[in-house]
């Protein structure tokens, strides 16, 4: 692309991020999404690191300050002054504003440690001066310990309790499980989202009644993870970014040791979390065995957010870079054993309630291509990489049209306009772009970059995978942020070293 055009795209993306910045975090869109969303903020930080690294650091710190005492990082941190502008709002969740920020009780995919590492690499001097890694590391380890402990199902992978937690709300992967949920809710259902996007681009009213019913069940159980609520799904996308983020935590440990924060990384530094030691002062050596069936809660119901990190509630986190890599290896091994589908040529979801895999081809199952470029001790099967690449370039995905659909064009539910049932999402294009770049596939790198260079007029939430027409809301923050990163990043690795220069000259 011509240099001037590249700079124009970056400038336009930066203007969107400036508009959506509140002073401490970035809203996904000023109208449709007026609060702070968990994985949105991670993607926004990845883009903002190129132009305002201090703002990117602030974005992640603000989110992590809303962490619950059980370790979860909430899906939404609410601006209670705009509670009527999005549903369900803070009043629905009743998370207790006296105990910290008002939040949802749900979570979203754990991209945060990966984002924190990329943000650090963009400005290691500024990061060290602010003590950024020492501040976020204890919270990130609690977050991962929550996922490996309370949220670990019987196959050793994190379990989603609601479709919203997967980030791919109405993906066909969740259809069968949702059919078991009565389409009835006690809460009156408002749809302010339809003021910003057409009804044909959003989940339907029957879907929303089921979404609310599940959310009510989880809320009424005190957001306890050992109470079955009718939905317990293992998502390949969620598990993949957890593995990548575990390796990122290993990089953070090593960087903290280089900064002089002790042999294990963060001991005695940061926000009073006690570094990597347990209450007895010993370095943890492992984790409790995951419970059978749905994820368990070894100490009962979780506490609400407090603004200060609490104890690990009995769940141990790894203490060294090697332990983080081993945690990633365990995730990868469990995914290979339980989620791989050779016939479809990708990874699928697992319905723990039914004890069955959900054999639907979606972009969620292609995201594990990231694991091929991940530096762990696990011997990732090269044949599986080849099979994933063949599926990515096949007729269901890039071989069937110009952009990457969220659901295979060959799936019976494919709809090019309907949210996660067909449209192309920029965060998915970015994840796959990072994967193929790490594999040295310049041809696919260029192909996926087209989504950012030809499609994002107005920075839409998602696009038609065949025409590139914008769908959903506009001036969407992660679209702008990842466009910025696509134009400005030169990193070949998923997890670059801190000395890597990530800005183009």
The three state secondary structure string of 149-213 is: CCCECCCCCECECCHHHHCCCCCHHHHHHHHCCCCCCCCCCCCHHHHCCCHHHCCCHHHHHHHHH
pLDDT tens string 59-73: 999 999 999 999 999
Q: How confident is the model at residue 377 (pLDDT cuts 50, 70, 90)?
A: low
Q: Is residue 55 predicted with pLDDT exceeding 90?
A: yes
> How would you class 221 by CB atoms within 10 Å of its CB: exposed for 0-12, middle for 13-18, buried for 19 or more?
middle
| The residue to which tokens 């697992």 are assigned | 350
pLDDT of res. 135: 97
pLDDT of res. 272: 34
Among 241, 189, 209, 222, CA closest to 105: 222
Q: Is residue 95 predicted with pLDDT exceeding 70?
A: no
pLDDT of res. 285: 29
- The rounded distance, in Å, linking the Cα atoms of 78 and 478 is 18
Q: Is residue 269 predicted with pLDDT exceeding 50?
A: no
Average pLDDT of the chain is 86
pLDDT of res. 470: 94
pLDDT of res. 7: 52
User: What's the rounded mean pLDDT across residues 20-29?
Assistant: 98
CA dihedral sign of residues 324, 330, 333, 334: negative
β-bridge partners, 103: 77
User: What's the rounded mean pLDDT across residues 428-439?
Assistant: 97
Lowest pLDDT segment from 266-270, 361-365, 476-480:
266-270
pLDDT of res. 440: 95
Helix, strand or coil for residue 75? coil
- The rounded distance, in Å, linking the Cα atoms of 15 and 26 is 12
Q: Is residue 163 predicted with pLDDT exceeding 60?
A: yes
pLDDT of res. 373: 86
How many angstroms from the chain centroid is the CA of residue 327?
Answer: 18
pLDDT of res. 261: 76
Which residues are CB-contacts of 127 (< 8 A; sequence separation ≥ 6)?
53, 57, 119, 120, 133
Q: Is residue 357 predicted with pLDDT exceeding 50?
A: yes
User: What's the rounded mean pLDDT across residues 468-484?
Assistant: 95
Length of the chain: 505
Q: How confident is the model at residue 2 (pLDDT cuts 50, 70, 90)?
A: very low
* pLDDT > 90 fraction of the chain, expressed in percent and rounded: 73
β-bridge partners, 76: 37
pLDDT of res. 410: 98
Q: Which residue has the higher pLDDT, 21 or 279?
A: 21
β-bridge partners, 425: 462
User: What's the rounded mean pLDDT across residues 189-205?
Assistant: 72
How many angstroms from the chain centroid is the CA of residue 133?
Answer: 19
Q: Is residue 275 predicted with pLDDT exceeding 70?
A: no
Helix, strand or coil for residue 123? coil
Q: Is residue 4 predicted with pLDDT exceeding 70?
A: no
pLDDT of res. 306: 47
* pLDDT > 70 fraction of the chain, expressed in percent and rounded: 82
Determine contact, residues 355/400, Cβ cutoff 8 Å: no
Lowest pLDDT segment from 45-54, 232-241, 251-260, 284-293:
284-293
Q: How confident is the model at residue 454 (pLDDT cuts 50, 70, 90)?
A: confident
- Provide the whole-model pTM: 0.90
- The rounded distance, in Å, linking the Cα atoms of 463 and 190 is 25
Helix, strand or coil for residue 93? helix
Among 209, 470, 464, 243, CA closest to 373: 243
Q: Which residue has the higher pLDDT, 399 or 98?
A: 399
Among 487, 428, 486, 477, CA closest to 40: 477
Q: Nearest-5° angle of CA 244, CA 268, CA 331? A: 20
Among 44, 431, 91, CA closest to 244: 431
């Amino acid at each position: 692309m011509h240099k001037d055009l590249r700079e124009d795209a970056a400038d336009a993306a930066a203007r969107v991020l400036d508009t959506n910045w509140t002073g401490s975090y970035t809203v996904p869109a000023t109208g449709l999404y007026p609060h702070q969303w968990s994985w949105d903020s991670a993607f926004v930080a990845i883009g903002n690191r190129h132009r305002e690294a201090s703002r990117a650091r602030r974005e992640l710190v603000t989110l992590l300050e809303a962490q619950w005492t059980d370790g979860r990082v909430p899906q939404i941190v609410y601006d209670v002054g705009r509670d009527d502008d999005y549903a369900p709002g803070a009043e629905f969740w009743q998370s207790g504003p006296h105990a910290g920020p008002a939040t949802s009780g749900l979570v979203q995919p754990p991209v945060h440690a990966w984002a924190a590492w990329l943000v650090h690499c963009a400005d290691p001097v500024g990061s060290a001066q602010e003590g950024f890694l020492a501040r976020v590391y204890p919270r990130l380890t609690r977050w991962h310990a929550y996922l490996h402990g309370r949220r670990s199902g019987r196959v050793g992978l994190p379990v989603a309790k609601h479709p919203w937690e997967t980030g791919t709300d109405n993906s066909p992967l969740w259809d069968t499980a949702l059919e078991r949920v009565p389409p009835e809710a006690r809460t009156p259902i408002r749809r302010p989202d339809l003021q910003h996007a057409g009804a044909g681009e959003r989940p339907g009213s029957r879907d929303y009644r089921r979404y609310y019913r599940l959310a009510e069940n989880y809320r009424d159980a005190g957001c306890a993870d050992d109470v079955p609520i009718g939905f317990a799904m293992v998502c390949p996308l969620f598990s993949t970014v957890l593995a990548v983020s575990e390796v990122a935590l290993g990089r953070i440990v090593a960087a903290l040791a280089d900064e002089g924060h002790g042999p294990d990384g963060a001991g005695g530094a940061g926000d009073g979390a006690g570094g990597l030691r347990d209450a007895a002062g010993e370095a943890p050596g492992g984790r409790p065995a995951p419970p059978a069936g749905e994820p368990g809660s070894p100490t009962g119901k979780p506490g609400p957010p407090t603004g200060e990190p609490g104890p690990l509630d009995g769940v141990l986190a790894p203490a060294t870079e090697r332990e983080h890599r081993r945690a990633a290896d365990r995730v990868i091994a469990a995914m290979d054993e339980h989620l791989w589908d050779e016939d479809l040529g990708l990874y699928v979801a697992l319905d723990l309630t039914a004890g069955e895999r959900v054999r639907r081809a979606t972009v969620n199952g292609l995201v594990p291509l990231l694991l091929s470029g991940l530096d762990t001790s696990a011997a990732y099967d090269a044949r599986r990489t080849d099979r994933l690449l063949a599926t990515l370039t096949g007729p269901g995905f890039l071989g069937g049209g110009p952009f990457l659909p969220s659901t295979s064009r060959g799936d019976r539910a494919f709809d090019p306009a309907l949210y996660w049932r067909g449209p192309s999402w920029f965060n998915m294009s970015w994840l796959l772009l990072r994967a193929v770049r790490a594999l040295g596939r310049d041809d696919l790198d260029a192909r996926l970059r087209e989504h950012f260079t030809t499609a994002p007029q107005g920075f839409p939430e998602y696009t038609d995978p065949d025409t590139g027409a914008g769908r959903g809301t506009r001036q969407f923050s992660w679209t702008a942020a990842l466009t910025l990163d696509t134009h400005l990043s030169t990193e070949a690795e998923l997890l670059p070293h801190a000395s890597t220069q990530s800005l183009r000259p």
